[in-house]
Structure 1
C-alpha cells in the first residue's frame, strides 16, 4: 500500500506541463508555515534583485528593519539588515528552492543573468523530474528555481522514482487500498 496520494488541490503549484500557468503573486496575509530570513548589507539592493531578478513582490516593508517578499502563496522571504550576529557565518552556505513553472524558468534566469552575470547556472534536468536553475543572490544565498516537468511513468525518471517506491498516485497498483494518511 502507498501512503502517498494526490493532493495538488492544496498547493499553489499548478500541475506540471509545458503550458502550466503560474499563479499570480499572492497578496493575502496568513500565518506563514515556512519562510526564510536572509541578512543583507543593503536592503534596497537585495530587494531590487529579488523583485526584478527572481520575480518576487514586496508584500510590505518596515524601513531599515525588514522587507517581506513573496511570489506564490507559501513562498515567503524576509530580508533583514545584517548585524554582527547575522553577518557570520555567511549566508553563502544557505540553499533554498522555489517552485516555478517551466515557462518562467528561462525568463527568470535571463533576468538574473542581467543583474548578476556569472551567478546563474544553465538549466539541468534532475532524476526527480524537475528542471532546475541555480542563482546566487547578492547575499550569497543559492536559490534553486525548480520547475516540475510533465510526469511520464514510462520515462527514465518515472521508472527511477518507481524503483525507489515513489509512484504517481493515479498509477498505483491494484493492491493500494486507497487508505491514506
Structure 2
C-alpha cells in the first residue's frame, strides 16, 4: 500500500457488518468510513474523498441497485455490491447497472479484500502527490480540483478562483504525477493544442 491508503466507503444497514468490515479493512492497511443508508452515504460523499464504495443491495429507503445506478450516472466511482440475494439474475442486474463486482453474503472478508484490491488495480486510481484521482475529481494534499465544475476546493470548504490558464496548468500537472513536462509539452497541454507526452 502507499502512504495514502485507499479510502473505502461501506454502505450497509447492518451495523455489525459495517463495523466488522471497517475493522478488517483498516487492519489491512486501508481507511474505512461507514454509512447506514443512501442518505448517510450522500452526506459522506459531500465531505470525503473515496476510492471505492462497498454497497449493500438490500437497504431500507433507497435500495442498493438504485444507489448504484445513481452513482454510475454521476461518475466512475468503483462499486462493489454485497447482497444476501445469491440469485444469478440479481448478480447480472447489478453488474449491468454499473457495479464493478458483486459478492454474495455470507462472504470471506479475505475474498472481499482481494476483490477490492483487484478493482482498485483496474480503476482509474492514480497517485497524485499524496492524493488520488477518484472518479473525475483530482485530490492532492488538502485540495480537490473538480474538472467538471472547474473548481479548486480546500478541505475546509474554501473555494479558490482559477483563471483558465491556472486551471489548465494545474490539471496538466495533476494528471501526470511524478512526470517531468517540458516547456513545449506544458504549452501544448495548457493551450488546448495536442501535446505529445
Q: TM-score, normalised by structure 2?
A: 0.26
Greater relative contact order (CA < 8 Å, ≥ 6 in sequence): 1
Instruction: Give the structure with the larger helix fraction.
Output: 2
Task: Return the TM-score normalized by structure 1.
Answer: 0.28
